Amino acid sequence: MSAPLRIALAGLGTVGAGVIRLLETNGELIAQRAGREIQVTAVCARDRSKDRGIDLSPYAWEDDMTALAARDDVDVVVELVGGSDGPALALARNALNGGKHLVTANKAMIAHHGMELASVAEAGNAALKFEAAVAGGIPVIKGLGEGAAANAIDRLYGILNGTCNYILSQMESTGADFGDVLKDAQELGYAEADPTFDIEGVDAAHKLAILASIAFGTKLDFGAVDISGITKIRAADIAQADALGYVIRLLGTADVDTGSGEKRLLQRVQPYLVSKEHPLAAVDGPTNAVVLECNFAGRLLFEGAGAGDGPTASAVVADIVDIARGNFGAPFSLPAGALQPAAPADPGNRLSRFYMRFVVADRLGVLAEITAAMRDAGVSIESMIQHGHPEEGGDVLVAIVSHEGPESGVSAALDLLDGSPSLSEAPLVMRLLG
C-alpha cells in the first residue's frame, strides 16, 4: 500500500467534526478503497477549548489556518470554514499556489472564485475538489462530470436548498404562513438565525452556478443568475397550488439557448408550481434533488440529504479518496481555459404557464384593470380566483393562471400594471412545471 495521504482540516464545526468521526469509524474501509491510509495531521478552528465530542490530541493545532498550507506534513488541505472571501479564500490560494490539493465544501467561494482557483490548481497539477459544496451528500458533481460525461446536457434543474424545501413542505402540511414556519425551522435548527442567504435564494444560486458551469462547459457566472426567494409566498398560494394539482418548490434551473447562433445561458432560482405527478413534487423536508435531462441517458434524478454532518462529511471524504487514487481531472470537467463564456439568455421567448397572484385594494374596477392588462399584453387567462371577500374590507388576493404563452407577454402585462394604485404590493409570479 502507498504512503499515507496526509490532510489538514480547517474548520471543526458540524462538518469538520463529522469528517474526523467518519475517518475514525471507517478508516480501514476507506484505506482499502483508496489504496492508502488517510491521516489527519493538523487542524485549525476558532476555539481550541471547545468540546466537539472528538479527540483532537493526535493532531497538530494551528491558530492561524493559513499556516496549514505551509506545513511539510500536509498533502491535502480541507477547507470547511465558509465565506466567499477572507481567510477561506486566502487558505485556498495558499494551498494551491503551494502545490497542495484542496478539498472544500464552500459553495460561495467556488461560485465567486472558482475560475481563478481552477486555473491555479491546473497550473500546479493539484486537485481542486468541491463535491460537498453542492447538495450535501448527493454525488451530483461526480454524476455530471463522470456518469453523464458522454451526454450533452439539455437542461438541469432541482431543489438545491433544504431550508426552503422544509419551510414550503411545512406550509403545505400545516397551512401556516411563511413567518410562523420560518420561526419553527430556526428553533429546530433547519434554518440559521440569519436565514437570508437561504430564503432569498442566494445559497441555491451559488450551487446552480457551479452545476451549470460543469453541465454546459461554460465559465462560471454567478452574477448572471436571476434570483428570487420564497419570502412572498403565502399560505393562500400553497392552498391554491394544491387545488390546481401542484406543490410549490424553490427550483434552480439552467439551460442553454443556441437559437441565435451564440451560446447563451439561462440560470435562475425561483419558486415554481410543480405538478404533483413530477418526481420533484415528492421531495419534501430538508432534502435536495437534482434532475439532469441528457440527450442519450434521458432524465437522471439525484436525490438525498442536502446538508448535515454525515452526508456532507461523506462527500468531503469521497473527494479525499479520489485524490488518494490519483483521480484529479479538471475541476469543472473541462480545463478552465476551455470553458466558454456565455452571455445571459433572453427568457422572453420561453413558453410556460404562469401563476400570478395580486394583492389588490377593495375597490371597483380592479379586476377589470388586471384583465385588461393581460388582454393588451396577449396573455390568455385560463382561470381566475379571488381570495377574501370585498365586503369585509381590506386587501383581496386575486390569483390568475395563464394558458401557455411567452414569458415576454407576462412581463408586458406586469409593466402595464406597474405603479397602479389598485395593487397593494408587487405581484408574485411563478411558472408551472408539469
Q: How far apart are CA 188 and CA 203, in angstroms?
A: 20
Contact 252, 205 (CB under 8 A): yes
Place of cell 461554460: 218
Active site residue 207: yes
Residue among 287, 128, 89, 309 at smallest CA distance from 214: 128
What three-state secondary structure class fits 84?
coil
Residue 222: burial class (beta carbons within 10 Å; 0-12, 13-18, 19+) = buried
Single-letter code of the amino acid located at 380 = S
Q: What number of other Cβ atoms are within 10 A of residue 47's Cβ?
A: 8
DSSP letter string, 96-147: HHTT-EEEE--HHHHHHHHHHHHHHHHHTT--EE-GGGSSTT--HHHIIIII
Catalytic residue among 207, 219, 232, 263: 207
- The dihedral built from the CA positions of residue 210, 212, 214 and 218, taken in this order, carries a sign that is negative
Active-site positions read 207
